[in-house]
A = this chain, B = another copy of it.
């Protein structure tokens, strides 16, 4: 039983072995799976500007998975929850043919007006993101052995394995007056389009402005790929993308910087036009393969 506040928001996020992660050596440990599942659910709350509340953990355990690994997974989920001011308040454990982790996260606000949706972007707004992008996509390339692990790109693996939900930043951005917000679970190309369609506007994202995770450019040189494609197309960075009126620019930057974790980068603007996201490189439209089909 939970003492309520004015309004609640609830997010559910499921991860399935073989679909969202692999447990083989070099891929994810049970702890990393628990962390990522919790991060994904909490990140949805962050994007609404909600205060964290409770989480409920469903584990589907294959036979032979073992109590020790199940505890390792649950402890890592609980550790991230604790760091995020979230209480694990219940759950369910069932048998399953592969490892399944589903997290329900509940956040709270005193009044509906304190929360931010995806549908409030207006022409003239600036488009911003927190932190750096492409870390999870670069880390995946390393895990898949498509690129060489070096000290310089270790941060990419860390980002892929232990993403940070931006709860405090989301709350600060909501308070600073952003009009719309989303967390980058699918990649900025897809997620910007979610805001655009919900708001009935066009989001123009300048790909040369995307803040790249350190080590990503070097890794992409080895892959023979444009870094912005990985930064825009790969999911699970769990940074926040938001639209803010130009006069809130300084307030937004300061609100996020004051938390001491990440900075804001302005990557585009909102225009009237056909609802959707447009990727541009110095004013010319560019295409991200597969992007048009993902929405």
Contacts and interface: CB of A to CB of B under 8 A. Distances in A.
Interface of A: 1-16, 18-20, 48, 54, 56, 58, 60, 89-92, 94-98, 100, 102, 104, 106, 108, 112, 115
Nearest to A16: B96
Given A1-B112, A1-B115, A115-B1, A94 B7 contact: no
Contacts of A115: 1
B3 A7 contact: yes
A104 B15 contact: no
A269 B16 CA distance: 45
Contacts of A89: 10
The CB with the most chain B CB atoms within 10 A, among A3, A9, A10, is that of A10
A48 B1 CA distance: 10
Contact of A8 (B2, B11, B13, B60): B2
A1 B9 contact: yes
Contacts of A16: 60, 94-97, 100
A56 B104 CA distance: 9
9 contacts: A1-B112, A3-B7, A10-B89, A10-B106, A11-B90, A14-B102, A16-B60, A18-B97, A96-B100
A42 to B, nearest CB: 14
A79 B112 CA distance: 28
Q: In the A-B complex, list the 9 residue pairs whose CB atoms are closest, starting with the nearest.
A: A4-B4, A104-B104, A16-B96, A19-B95, A12-B56, A14-B58, A12-B92, A14-B94, A2-B8
Nearest to A94: B14
The CB with the most chain B CB atoms within 10 A, among A11, A16, A91, is that of A16
B100 A20 contact: no
A4 B54 CA distance: 15
